[in-house]
Every structure is written in structure tokens, then in C-alpha cells.
Amino acid sequence: MKFFDLHCDTLYRAYKENKSIYKNDFHVSFEKSKRFEKYIQCFAAWIPDEYRGIKALNLFNGCINKLQNEPKKSEFNIVKKPNDFSGGKCAVITVEGGAVLAGDIQKVKYLAENNVKIITLTWNGKCEIGDGCGVICPEGITKFGEQVVKKMEAYGIIIDVSHASEKLFYDVSKIANKPFIATHSNSYSICPHKRNLTDSQFLEIKNRGGVVGITFCSEFLNLNKKAGFDDIVKHVEHFLELGGEDTLSIGSDFDGAEVPSEINSLEKIENLYEYFLKKNYKENLVKKLFFENAYEFMKLHIK
């Protein structure tokens, strides 16, 4: 099968724990991907809220050096241009947390030159761009954030609104000229967690031609955290009812969240794929969810 994952924290974890991305006991490793016909993984350099200024940039640089110097990296093609997706195994560099810019608009160019293809504008707190979903009484996007949105679009870096406050989300929707995405967010209607998307937010992304990655994070699937395949199906089904057949993707949040035991390894993705088929989902739809929607979007919108 083919699998495209819009978000994992494996790169950050491997860097901080000084472990190999190729072979480890994490959710994701290069070795575990051998079973896929084609596999594209977005590797996020996570910037926690307490990281600011040069500390945030140094964390990014450390993560990127880790990926670039990984043994057997030749098995993975780091995506620089759209035609780089043609390889069997691809790594897409992303950043989770706009604090990486340290309030310097020129750093957008620096990230683009280092092949960053997606930036999650905030994490849960406040940064120079605006307010994350954990901010009380959020004020939305800042003047600097408005510049960042425009500069990211100019450099072909995709805007990710997972973790954004609702105020920031709608500020971005007014400013952005291109589609934006939510790499790892579920349905608020099914699980009313502040990290999930309301129906109107999902429709905004859908109508603009963006994609949404269904995440396996247990507390975003079910507030009691006792989640499984059925919960994943419920979120998918709800978004499908909103017309999301060409919008839905996967954004696992592997190695960055507590996930159900049924899906706690890259090797178990095939089990989830088969579960959808057993639930009488047509295979062409399942292929869209697990690969095609994210693949077509990324090929079209990165530079």
C-alpha cells in the first residue's frame, strides 16, 4: 500500500534522545517503512513554547542536521522540489511552531532554503505570529504574523493551522491567498477538544482546496482517551458527511502523542487501512485518505 503522513514528531524525538531515525523503538523508523510500496513522511522539527530566539533556531538546525546525517538516509529522498516526490520513500521537512522565526521575517527565506515545506504557525501558546489554542482570550494574528503568512506563500511554504486558536484561524483565512491546511486535527463535533476543528473551520479549509490530517492522538479522538479504530472512523465519517472526500488525509502525530495501542506503530497502518475496507469503504476512497489527497495537494502547492 501507499501511505502519506502529514505529521510526526519522530525527528524531534530522535534528535533530543540521540537515537537513530533508521532503526529505533519509536512509532516511526525508516526500517518499519519497508512494507510500503510508496511512503511519504512529514518530519516535524517541533519548537516547544518555551523555546525562543536563537534557542528555537538552534533546535531547528539540530533536527535538520540529524535528518541529513542519518545513516542509510539514501533510502529516503528529502523533498526539495515537487518532482522529488517521484521516489519510493520521501521525507518532507516541516516545522511545528512559528517561534522558530524568532520574530525575524528573513528567517522564512532561511527555512525555505533548508527545504521546509510546511510551518505550523503556533504551538499551544503564544509566539511572535499569534496565539495558539491554549491561549486564554486570544488576540489572533500579529502584524508580524501577517507578514509571515504572505512571505510563506511567496516561498511556497504551506501554512498549517493545527494548534492555532480559533481567532488566529479566521485571521489567517482573511489574509491567505492560497489554500492552507491542518496537518493533525480531528472533528470538534465528535470530540470537543480545543485542538480539533469545528465544522465551519473544516469547511473553510475544504472550500479553499486544503487538506486535513486525521490524527491518532487519543485525547483528540475521544475525551476519555480510550480510543481505537472505531473512533478514527467516526471522525472520518463526520468529515465525509461535510463533503471531505478530497480533503481528508492522515496526520498521525506518531512519536508526539499518546495513541491507541491498535495503531501505535507505523507497521500497524495496514491494519487501519484494512479496517476501513471491512467497514465497506470503497478502496478508491481509502486510497485518497491514506495517500492520494495529501500527495496531490503537496505536489501542487510546494515550490
In tens, the pLDDT along 194-221 reads 999 999 999 999 999 999 999 999 999 9
First-last CA distance in the chain? 27
Residue 38: per-residue pLDDT: 97
- Tally of domains within the chain: 1
Q: What confidence score (pLDDT) does residue 72 get?
A: 67
Segments of the chain scoring below 50 in pLDDT: none
Which residues touch 299 (CB under 8 Å, ≥6 apart)? 82, 85
Let me know: does 103 contact 142? Beta carbons within 8 Å: no
Outline where 101-217 has alpha helix (H): 107-113, 143-155, 166-175, 199-207
Determine the pLDDT at residue 70.
85
Q: What is the pLDDT of residue 74?
A: 64
Parent domain of 73: 2-301
Give CA torsion, residues 248, 254, 257, 258, to 10 deg: 100
**pLDDT for res 134:** 97
Q: Which three cell numbers stand for residue 131?
A: 496565539
Q: What is the predicted pLDDT for the residue at 107?
A: 98
HSE-CB of 276 using CA atoms within 13 angstroms: 20
| CATH code, domain with 118 | 3.20.20.140
Beta-carbon neighbour count of residue 30 at 10 Å? 23
CA angle 69, 75, 77 (to 5 degrees): 75
